[in-house]
Amino acid sequence: MFVSPKTLREYCFDFLRLSLECAVTSSPASPALPLSAALVEELLQTLSEHHLTDDVLLQPLFASTPLSRVCIEDASLLTTRSLRSLRSHALKELRVSRLSKCTINELIGCLGDQSLQRLRLLDVSRSAFTSANQFCVVIGLAKLRSLRALDVSHTDFNAHGLEIVVDDLPLIQSLNISATRVKDISALRRYGNRLRALALYNLKCDDQWMTTIRELPQLALLDVSDDTDNPLDALSSRKHDFLRPLLDTEFARLQSLDISGRGDTFDARSLARFLQRRKLDFLGVMATQLAFDDALLACADMAVAGSASEAQILLALHRYEARANFVQKSLFHLYALTHAFSDAKPDVIAAIVRPMRRHLAVISVQMAATACLYNLTKNDHGDRLHPHVLRAVVETTLLAMAAHPNNQQLQKNALLTLCSDRVLQDVTFDRFHCTQLVLDSLVAFKDAAMNRMSVAIVSILAAKISTAETSVLGARPHYMEALLAIVRTRVADGGHNDLMLKFTLSALWNLTDESPKTCQMFLSKRGMDLYLRVLNTFPGECAVETKVLGLVNNIAEVRELRHNLLDVHFLRVLQQLMRSPQIDVSYFAAGIFAHLSSDGQQLQELPDVLNELVSHSQVIELPLITCLPKVEVVLSWQTPDIEMVAYRSFVPFLPLLQCAQCPAVQLWAIWAIHHVCSKNPKRYVEMLVAEKGAQTIHAIWEQSAEAEESALSQY
């Protein structure tokens, strides 16, 4: 039973998200589709979470639906061109974070009069009020007279801006000025009893903090947390001394207090007494020892964000999603817990994936996150997780690999997660991108364990991507060189036949399947010489011989490359393998001869030395006739119990079916088609009909029947 499948609503949003760009770009002149405001607002937020919000989508998409709330967590791709579409809406809440192509003032300039009059919440975090090298001016905020909640965290907001906000926005009840340039918060005194929530995270303030905070008695939420991790702070024993009077202050309405990172400021006893006097809903004590105090843990009704338990860590990951240092610390403590988890934990995975996507550039976050994800998806855990959960894991892991290609440990963590049959076989994701990243890792690092995982992953994924994609990968010489180097090493080691060799041979086989460019690259890197050595080094090794001959079959399917196989030493080995008792080996050896024999021009160009190979042939019409897939050889094969081979299409077989001058060639092709169609009819029968193979086989049968009737009529 899978844990945590998606809801139908979530699947619908996924479908819309994946189809939206096509719908918008393919029919720009179509009538507007009426959608409910709630649906549009949620869809917009979903697009933003997946970094899909840009001018092309935003401008035309929601023109027909009046909105009151807009949330765009990642507005880095937006310009005023699309933001002007907000002018037609009467917004009450606007969250637009990470603006990079326009300023906050320009965003406010894109709002219509109704929004300017009605807007109650504005979040413009991680943006800028003005362009670079200009003095910060926040005059645009003064237009928002109805504003109740303002978040300008991680912006160039300063003390002058704070003065403007306090003077011109009298209705403000919630203010977040975390990680801004504000150093003096004394202007907040003028809010007096009006301010309900104040966030001062990572704010560099002076000893006047408490004087001001004490004059805000109606605060229900206070955040004075800090995660700057400045090594120079350790030199000061009075780093946070000015906050100590906080616990002696009467905050009758206080429900949420965040002192994470301020562990050297408060002792557990003082904090416990403080908590006894008032009932908090939330306490943040991340990166402190306070989280481990029994007195605090006894407050059962209070949610605690810390590192002492799974519940504390998950809450910390949720509350501090935007704070990289706290995320890293949370993941560090979570990793220690993952070893003891006995059940699948989709909720824990979800808590990791969101901040992981948000902090792709922070290597410490990615290292800890990828290690946690591996522990949470390996073995039985992965088997019990729903594919959509595993898909989120894979997609985020690939983002981490792409962001940090030179970090060996992170790449190893990622490979450990990806190298799973459950992931590779049952989960839908961008397999081409994954294969490319894994091959990049193979080229970059010479770690045996990593390389073994890399070739194992590629051996599976290469069979699942399109021939166009395998051609792109195969045309890159450094990938081919890395794979052949592994094979060459195994041969040089005196015939070291291990999983590494088998995975590599499978990867090469699948990469060359119906991919002439990859076959050409293989030949240009002297792959045939190496593969002949492999056959001579591992005689009788069925798994090795099958994979080698499978790749050579792929080359034989390409008419322009067949001449590379007309080597007397290789053909002599091939003739022996065609009569192997192992049907896999015999089948592929006969297939190579079938393709060579179907090309009359190639046969006429055989060197004289090849005639020596078949000098005892009783039939002299063709010099290669004894190397053909003999009828008795094909008829001697017992039908395998399982599907012996998989094909992308029957296109390579069609020329063989037309080879009427060589019935043995036709017989081999028909046997191959019958085998896969009988073992997997759902996949192959429709393919055979669509590619007109069934029509060709029927024509062969009719010709054979007519020939038989003609022969009988002569008696």
Give me the percent of the chain exceeding a pLDDT of 70.
86
- Tens-digit pLDDT profile for residues 529-561: 999 999 999 999 999 999 999 999 999 999 999
DSSP 309-336: SHHHHHHHHHHTTT-HHHHHHHHHHHHH
**125 found inside a domain:** yes
pLDDT of residue 622 exceeding 60, the answer is no
Cα gap 117→115, rounded to integer Å: 5
Q: What is the pLDDT of residue 132?
A: 66
Q: Is residue 261 part of a domain?
A: no
The distance from CA 671 to its chain's CA centroid, rounded to whole angstroms, is 40
Q: What are phi and psi of 265, to 5 degrees?
A: -95, -40
Sign of the torsion angle spanned by Cα atoms 487, 489, 494, 497: negative
pLDDT value at residue 614: 44
Residue 612 pLDDT = 44
Which pLDDT belongs to residue 372? 98
Domain count across the chain: 1
Write the pLDDT tens digit of every residue in 58-85. 766 666 788 899 988 889 888 998 899 8
Asked whether residue 45 is assigned to any structural domain, the reply reads yes
- 132-141, 253-262, 479-488, 581-590: the lowest-pLDDT one: 132-141
**What's the mean pLDDT in 282-287?**
94
pLDDT band at 3 (very low <50, low <70, confident <90, very high): low
pLDDT at res. 31:
54
Region 210-235: what's the mean pLDDT? 81
CB 641 within 8 Å of CB 649: no
- In tens, the pLDDT along 642-701 reads 889 999 999 999 999 988 888 889 899 999 999 999 999 999 999 999 998 888 888 888
- Assess contact for 520 and 561: CB atoms under 8 A: yes
Average pLDDT over every residue of 366-389: 94
pLDDT in tens, 102-113: 999 999 999 999
pLDDT > 70? residue 419 = yes
Host domain of residue 115: 35-182
- By percentage, how much of the chain surpasses pLDDT 90? 61
Q: Kindly report the number of other CB atoms within 10 A of residue 175's CB atom.
A: 26
The reported pTM is: 0.86
Query: Given a cut of 60, is residue 230 above it in pLDDT?
Result: no
**Residue 700 structure tokens:** 């062969």
Is 8 or 622 the better-scoring residue by pLDDT?
8
Six token digits for residue 333? 């403590």
Q: Strands 149-151 and 303-305, how do they pair?
A: unpaired
What is the reported pLDDT for 636? 87
Q: Which pLDDT score, from 0 to 100, does residue 625 have?
A: 45
**pLDDT, tens digit (0-9, with 9 covering 90-100), for 489-499:** 999 987 777 89
In a domain, residue 682? The reply is no
Residues 6 or more apart in contact with residue 9 via CB below 8 angstroms: none
Q: Which two tokens stand for residue 219?
A: 């605060």
| DSSP designation for 232 | G
Looking at residue 624, its pLDDT comes to 46
192 in a structural domain: no
| pLDDT at residue 700, as a whole number | 83
CATH number of residue 119's parent domain: 3.80.10.10
Sheet holding 93-96, edge to edge: 69-72, 93-96, 121-123, 149-151, 174-176, 197-199, 221-223, 256-258, 282-284, 303-305
The answer on pLDDT for 599 being more than 90 is no
In a domain, residue 200? The reply is no
> Considering only CA atoms, which of 464, 554, 474, 484 is closest in space to residue 518?
474
Section 579-604 average pLDDT? 84
The pLDDT value recorded for residue 639 is 85
pLDDT bucket at 620, cuts 50 / 70 / 90: very low
Cα angle 57, 62, 68 (rounded to 5 degrees) comes to 125
| Residue 585 falls inside a structural domain | no
Could you tell me how far CA 30 lies from the centroid of its own chain?
Answer: 34
* Alpha-carbon distance values, 245 to 208, 293, 614 (Å): 12, 21, 100
Contact 496, 490 (CB under 8 A): yes
- Report residue 401 as tokens: 């690999």
539 lies in some domain: no
